[in-house]
Chain A
Amino acid sequence: MSYFRITLHRSAIGLPKRTRGVLAALGLHRRGQLVFHPVSAQFAGMIMKVKELVRVDEVDRPLTRREVYVERRPEPGFWVESARGAFQQGQEGGQQVGGGEEGEVRL
């Protein structure tokens, strides 16, 4: 069973009451909020009503609150792009320089 992953991307301030009602029925109350609903004509029709305001993906299962939290958490640490040269030459000044993605160096 697949689900719609719906994110409220644009605010409904100043839009008709019907539109805001559809968002409330989808469970979207604030911008950036994420909800999951099963793929069905009923929810597809609701998405059609607010298609300008939301971003939609199809996913296999709904994420738990914990998974959403982990997904939104930024990566720990920081990236130093100017350390690229140091990475190529090896360790310098006692700094641990580890490899990151292509074109990036992680300290």
Chain B
Amino acid sequence: MFGPFRITNPLSGGLLWKIPWRLSPTQKARQRKRLRAVDQVIETVTNALAKKGETLKSLDRWKAEMPTEAEMLPRDKYTMFDRKAKRYRKGIHKLPKWTRVSQRINPPGF
């Protein structure tokens, strides 16, 4: 009845592994914090290189393509495009390693 191998619905065969379809408010707050942390790194590197007068292709490309946390829409912060999902959106927490990868932009129109 108790212990690690008790019979629960997820363990007794079948596919019943419940992941909530949306993020909780605290998960969303932490997601915003992580986005801002990456923005901070980008800003620091930009300022440091600007002082030395050097340029970096990957940095220029990031700044041209990626919006900052403040510029992003809530739907892009917490959800992402999925061609198989109803209305073409799924929670960003379905993305593998989602707390350690940058997923900011989605196909236009979706």
A residues apposed to B, CB below 8 Å: 2, 4, 9-10, 12, 14-15, 39-41, 44-45, 47-48, 51-58
Contacts and interface: CB of A to CB of B under 8 A. Distances in A.
Query: Main SS of the interface on chain B?
Result: helix
Max chain A Cβ within 10 angstroms of own Cβ: one of B47, B48, B58: B48
Contacts of A48: 45, 56, 58-59, 62
Nearest to B101: A52
Contacts of A45: 56, 58
B38 A52 contact: yes
B62 to A, nearest CB: 7
B42 A51 contact: yes
Interface of B: 34, 37-38, 40-42, 44-45, 47-49, 51-52, 54-56, 58-59, 62, 97, 99-102
Contacts of A57: 44
B42 A44 contact: no
B38 A44 contact: no
A5 to B, nearest CB: 9
B100 A44 contact: no
Given A53-B100, A55-B37, A40 B52 contact: yes
A44 to B, nearest CB: 5
Contacts of A12: 100
13 contacts: A2-B48, A2-B51, A10-B100, A14-B97, A40-B52, A40-B54, A44-B48, A44-B59, A47-B41, A51-B41, A53-B100, A55-B37, A55-B41
B34 A56 contact: no
Nearest to B58: A48
B41 A58 contact: no
B56 A4 contact: no
